[in-house]
Amino acid sequence: MRWSNPPASVAPASHWRSRGRLVPAVGAILAFTAVLLVSGAPEEKHISIFSTAANYSLPVLERNGDEYVGLLELFEPLGAVNAKTAGPHWKFRYYDVESEFTAGKTRARIRGSDFDLPSNFVLENRRGLVPLSCLGTLLPRILGGPVTFNQNSRRLFIGNVAVHFTAQVSKTTPPKLVINFTAPVNPMIATEPGRLRMVFTHEAVVAPGSSVLTFDSTIIPSASFQENNGAAELVVAGTLPLIATFSHDGRSITVEPPAQAATPTQPPQQTAAGPAPASPTSVTTTPAATRRYFAVIDPSHGGDERGASLTSQLAEKDITLAFARRLRQELEASGLATLLLRDGDSTLSLDQRASLTNSAHPAIYICVHAASQGNGVRFYTALVPAGTENRGPFLGWDAAQSSYQSASRAAAMSLAKELPGKQIPARSLIAPLRPLNSITSAALALEVAPASDDVSQLNSPAYQQLIAGAIAAGLADLRGQLEAER
């Protein structure tokens, strides 16, 4: 069969003219779509707050072209707070300091004096939002202490919490960059061709004198420090692949080429184009392995992932965080070193949670959930999927828990026996629940439900404290057994 084209004269001239207009239009649409796809969704804005009580981050909201943050959420981790709404007025109390804000007004009263906000106060669903730009002046009035706010990077330091560092390259072969911090740090580390990135999201690391540090080394020529969207980033440039190791309980990070990379058969070739181009391939590690935690507590969900909507205003992610903080406090009070995987409203994937936990090598991992159905507390251990086998020293990611299942179940059953003594019903079950099956230690999840039909009980400090205290006591009793199986 042959296809024949119609003669050119069949197509009227207007057809070709319209096609001529159509082609650029289609091209423009395709280009616009490509730009949208490449640019992706805008990055969510966060503010990070560093204080002696807690380090956490909160989402920044755009209202009327200005950046706002929830005042109650900002103060909640710092101490006793409450807020009441009366018409357009929003009364806020932090310990004995009273403040009053009015929706749509800039004038507020704090400690009995007037205070002018740079933009109108916003009241949304009984939630009071203040402009971000006023935090540097508003917070000292309420807290009665010094506050440093870097608005460009959205990092807020309450009190003298800043972590400083010094960096020095040793004259050894291969050279080592030793970075000493004034407090333990736990950055996310990514190694990329030509550089090693350390991102500090939960540490109050502040800039050295200069944002760019230069070293007398061809292998590690420089490092640069920058702050953005609540996080600080230290990027070490290298002409060889670099790795980071931690020492002094996380107070020191040593950056150096790995052994085989340090003795190359051919010297690295410096091209005119500069350092090797960055590739999207990166390896994320954590220094937690250098510390010795008894327990890792994982407040489930967080950030974009709200978890269950327990009531119209109560999200699971908030209850899990509040409860996890209480549990950490109770465990620390019993002398059990505890790591909280998230201490703010941040998003962590399930694999990240497992990876961070496995790096910390705790005696036990506890994942906290909350539910409105049922009563009391339910403890869950992993339902490890079949078909994934551990081969010798290599553990299948989905079945890494299999060697620790008996320890996990013993711990869950023991804790479930602890609670009925406090008039709290408890059960122990297995469940198909990630990331339990990827954890290489005793691991369990607990689901806290109200003791009665009143779901708001989940938010009650007394109820949370009762359960946290009982679980911490149970874990303290299990300490020897869990440490032995570590």
Partner 1 sequence: MIPRHLIVGIAVLLAITLGMSFYAWKMRSRADRSELSAENSQPVAPPVSGATEQVILYVAYDDTGVLRAKPVRIPLPAGRQERAAEMLRALLNLYLDKFTPHPLGPGSDVRDVYLVDPGLAVIDLNAAFADSHRSGILVEELTVVSLVETLSANIPGITRVKILVDGKDRDTLAGHADLSIFFEVPAINQLVVQLQSTQ
Q: Which residues bind partner 1 (CB under 8 A)?
A: 301, 305, 307-309, 316, 369, 371-374, 378, 380, 383, 385-387, 398, 427-434, 445, 447
Nearer to partner 1, 377 or 482 (CB): 377
Nearer to partner 1, 148 or 402 (CB): 402
Burial of residue 60 (CB within 10 Å: 0-12, 13-18, 19+) is middle
Minimum Å gap between C-beta 70 and partner 1 is: 24
Distances (CA, A) of 123 to 131, 177, 185, 309: 12, 50, 37, 22
Structure tokens at 295: 């327990």
HSE toward the beta carbon, residue 266, CA cutoff 13 A: 3
Nearer to partner 1, 320 or 440 (CB): 320
Residue linked to tokens 């007004």: 105
Single out the residue of 362, 481, 474, 361 nearest to residue 418, CA to CA.
Answer: 474
Distances (CA, A) of 267 to 87, 183, 218: 73, 37, 11
Residue 56 and residue 74 in contact, taking contact as beta carbons nearer than 8 Å: no
Minimum Å gap between C-beta 33 and partner 1 is: 25
Residue linked to tokens 């779901």: 455
Nearer to partner 1, 233 or 316 (CB): 316
Minimum Å gap between C-beta 299 and partner 1 is: 14
| Angle CA 165–167–168, to nearest 5 | 150
Minimum Å gap between C-beta 313 and partner 1 is: 16
Minimum Å gap between C-beta 472 and partner 1 is: 21
Minimum Å gap between C-beta 311 and partner 1 is: 13
Calculated CA dihedral for residues 46, 47, 50, 53, nearest 10 degrees: -80
Minimum Å gap between C-beta 434 and partner 1 is: 5
Q: Would you call the peptide bond into 435 cis, given omega within 30 degrees of 0 as the criterion?
A: yes
CA distance 352 to 124: 33
CA distance 35 to 160: 44
Nearer to partner 1, 244 or 310 (CB): 310
Minimum Å gap between C-beta 485 and partner 1 is: 22
Nearer to partner 1, 115 or 380 (CB): 380
Nearer to partner 1, 151 or 372 (CB): 372
Nearer to partner 1, 137 or 388 (CB): 388
Nearer to partner 1, 138 or 436 (CB): 436
Minimum Å gap between C-beta 375 and partner 1 is: 9
HSE toward the beta carbon, residue 469, CA cutoff 13 A: 9
CA distance 122 to 125: 10
Q: What is the DSSP letter of 216?
A: S
Distances (CA, A) of 68 to 128, 129, 143, 161, 230: 10, 6, 19, 24, 14
